[in-house]
Amino acid sequence: MGLGYQPRDSGLLEQALTHRSASATNNERLEFLGDALIGFVIAEALWERFPEADEGRLSRMRASLVKRESLAKLARGLQLGDYLRLGAGELRTGGHARDSILADALEAVLGAVYRDVGFDSARRVVLDLFRARLEQTDASRAGKDPKTRLQELLQSRKRPLPEYVVVSIDGDQHDQTFIVSCVLQDDARSSRGGGTSRRRAEQAAAELMLEQIQDV
């Protein structure tokens, strides 16, 4: 899985990878712990990294780092979806690739690490996992969403604004996943992002587009 962690209690990790659709013994309680663990570790890391940032800016940076889409992307990097235990319904609807399930599973896995080997080891795992994103975090940009940052970057280069196109909407009414494409008008680049609303999908697509062009 690539976490750099050797489990002592494999049962905890198995539970962390079990969705509620597959068993009554599932990852929801470990998810609760993992959510708190990630929030604290990232808050502390930002507090140390940005000594001049006020509470509001620190909160916005933390929210950007630990939001569902960010956690889901990290989970995909670990190929977490390949290890998930899902019920038949979730398997049929592609639950292993859904942001909400992946993000929850990552939180649960980190909660399991904490329960298995303690806080210090779990903290190291979290920091290793988020290292690249922490290094890329810029306090001066905190509070600006990806669509705004993409718009400002394109305007600074005197380029036309992007177009956002809904590619698909999947899932039940109460748990939909939107896929949106972000298309640049003056070249062939495009990106696709997913989310539980059109707005979130657009933000995810904009974030991916920023990664493509900001260093070009």
Q: Delimit the domains of the chain by residue range.
A: 10-139, 146-213
Q: What is the pTM of this model?
A: 0.69
Query: 3.40.50.150, 3.40.50.300, 3.30.160.20, 1.10.220.10: which CATH number matches 146-213?
Result: 3.30.160.20
Q: What is the pLDDT of residues 162-208, one digit of tens each?
A: 999 999 999 887 788 999 999 998 988 899 999 889 999 999 999 89
Annotation marks residue 52 as catalytic = no
User: Please, which pLDDT band fits residue 57 given cuts at 50, 70 and 90?
Assistant: confident
The answer to whether 107 is a known catalytic residue is yes
List the binding residues for Mg(2+).
31, 104, 107
pLDDT in tens, 83-114: 999 999 999 889 889 989 999 999 999 999 99
Q: Which among 69, 99, 107, 207 is annotated as catalytic?
A: 107
Known binding-site residue numbers? 31, 104, 107
Distance CA 90, CA 110 (A): 22
What CATH number matches the domain at 10-139, 1.20.1250.20, 3.30.450.20, 3.90.1200.10, 1.10.1520.10? 1.10.1520.10
**Structure token pair of residue 36:** 């708190």
